[in-house]
Amino acid sequence: MAAATRKRPAPPLGTTTSCCPAPAAKKRVRHKIWSIYNYEKLEVLGEGTYGVVVKGRDRRTGETVAIKWIRPDANGVTDITAVLREAGCLEACRGPPSVVQMKEVVADEVTRHVFIVMEFVGPSLQTRLTRGALSAAETRAMMRQLLRGAEKLHGEGIVHRDMKPDNILIGSGGGAVKICDLGMAVPARPAGGEPYPEEVVAALWYRAPELLGGGRRYGAAVDMWALGCVMAELLLGEPLFRDAGTEEDILHMARDVEFAMESTPEVAFGGLPDLTEAGLEVLRGLLSVKPEKRLTAAEALGHRWFDEEDDEPLSSSALCSQPPERRVCIRFIV
């Protein structure tokens, strides 16, 4: 990422237009491209295959922000179409508290690198999970927010395709929970329509059964499977499929999970004493191997589990508790 050394706010570099997916039609969204020199780099927050996210400060307002630099290809060229697609998806999700909010698209007029500026939230759920599992009440509070975020995404005709703890942010004090990193997000395609071009999407441990083996026809249900994996991880304190090393492992273990939750739910996952029957119904509905039987975000939010007693607040102390004794992996009890 280029060092921002200017002291005066830089003017906009121009405007560009991108398509933003919606259920009935595509909206045309115009993005004014501002200068990266309006921001001061503070520290690196995370780095992945496709880019780097840094913590920054807006020189114009003093506000703390998160800035995503989209890594150029081997020839030094940035895929502007992919950048604008992600920006368009974020633009479509303005408003709801459970999806990270975009502020603007900026660029370096010298290197021509492009950046997306977003609100600064806090650490990832992955970071917090290294400290232990959550209670059923805390899990319900977090899942309520995640499902609301998924409901908004899917209502706008967007499939995230990379739901996982690394792409979920926890706000200061543990209250706000936000879905982030829409770099793999795409407009949903109708059932039976053209397949997606990508052969592999989603991290292995969160990859839905219909994606295994290079499946390229799928819908929003892939996000719901991943959220089921996240829910299990919140309760267990470790990834549900952590022992899986291949797609074949995932498929075998997914079938074992489904069978155990239907036949012997009282001992599934080594026992989840805090989770009520209603909570198990939600988990079972999210982890249905067949996508057509999987709960949608709206269906999950309407489940009676979310009408149970008040949720425990997602406090910093609760999320920083010591890890519980490791539970037995479900595939060893079937």
Active site residues: 162
SS (H, E, C) the chain: CCCCCCCCCCCCCEEEEEEECCCCCCEEEEEEEEEHHHEEEEEEEEECCCEEEEEEEECCCCCEEEEEEECCCCCCCCCHHHHHHHHHHHHHCCCCCCECCEEEEEECCCCCCEEEEEECCCCEHHHHHCCCCCCHHHHHHHHHHHHHHHHHHHHCCEECCCCCHHHEEECHHHCCEEECCCCCCEECCCCCCCCCCCCCCCCHHHCCHHHCCCCCCCCCHHHHHHHHHHHHHHHHCCCCCCCCCCHHHHHHHHHHHHHHHHHCCCCHHHCCCCCCHHHHHHHHHHCCCCHHHCCCHHHHHCCHHHHCCCCCCCCHHHHCCCCCCCCCCHHHCC
Classify residue 37 as left (phi > 0), alpha (psi -120 to 50) or beta: alpha
> Which pairing describes strands 51-58 and 39-47: parallel, antiparallel, or unpaired?
antiparallel
Distance CA 315, CA 312 (A): 8
Task: Show Cβ contacts of residue 95 under 8 Å, excluding neighbours closer than 6 positions.
Answer: 152
Alpha carbon of residue 184 to chain centroid: 10
The owner of tokens 């633009």 is: 91
Residue type, 232: A
Residue 164, marked binder = no
Residues annotated in a binding site for ATP: 68
Residues annotated in a binding site: 68
